[in-house]
């Protein structure tokens, strides 16, 4: 199904809020796919016990948030693969909003603590 999507990010470490995308996308059950730019595509998948965030561009990333226990985040770039640990704090998934709040760790240090909110509008797809 074609939809409109607005992605908002709240950085809990700095308190900053940003709109990262306002675009058209495709919603297929538990998977949301949308362009971030002309050269980058993002996908969000709610898959049973995992939520998977994928970004395909010059640098590719895949973040796996597990509903129980810690997950992993992988970043593939020209310098190789880099892996970090993730922790899902909370999530929401309904007809109009998908939300994930999570942290990313390098060892015991928190390197990212954020909330991502996708506002989904099924009526604005034209």
The C-alpha atoms of residue 74 and residue 55 are separated, in whole angstroms, by: 11
Q: Is the pLDDT of residue 63 over 70?
A: yes
At 124 the pLDDT is: 60
Question: Mean pLDDT over residues 89-100, rounded?
Answer: 96
What gap in Å lies between CA 52 and CA 80, rounded to an integer? 21
Question: Is residue 126's pLDDT more than 60?
Answer: no
21-54 pLDDT, tens digit each:
999 999 999 999 999 888 899 999 999 999 999 9
Tracing tokens 């390197």 back to the chain, one arrives at 111
Contact 48, 31 (CB under 8 A): no
Is the pLDDT reported for residue 108 higher than 80?
A: yes
How far apart are the C-alpha atoms of 100 and 118, rounded to whole Å?
Answer: 9
Average pLDDT over residues 103-122: 96
User: Which residues make beta-bridge pairs with 36?
Assistant: none
**Residues sharing a CB contact under 8 Å with residue 15, sequence separation 6 or more, in sequence order:** none
How many Å apart are CA 11 and CA 46, to the nearest integer?
A: 22
Reported as type and span, the H/E element at residue 106 is strand 97-106
pLDDT of residue 115: 98
Tokens describing residue 125: 């797809």
* pLDDT score at 51: 98
pTM for this structure?
0.92
> What's CA 49's distance to the chain center, in Å?
16
Each residue's pLDDT tens digit, 16-26: 999 999 999 99
Stretch 54-61: mean pLDDT? 93
């Amino acid at each position: 199904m074609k939809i409109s999507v607005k992605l908002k990010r709240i950085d809990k470490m700095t308190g900053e809020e940003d709109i990262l995308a306002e675009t058209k996308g495709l919603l297929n059950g538990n998977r949301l796919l949308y362009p971030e730019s002309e050269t980058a595509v993002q996908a969000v998948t709610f898959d049973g016990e995992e939520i998977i965030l994928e970004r395909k561009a010059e640098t590719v990333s895949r973040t796996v948030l597990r509903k129980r226990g810690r997950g992993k985040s992988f970043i593939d770039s020209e310098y190789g693969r880099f892996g970090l640990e993730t922790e899902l704090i909370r999530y929401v998934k309904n007809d109009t909003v998908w939300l994930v709040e999570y942290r990313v760790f390098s060892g015991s240090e928190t390197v990212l603590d954020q909330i991502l909110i996708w506002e989904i509008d099924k009526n604005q797809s034209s």
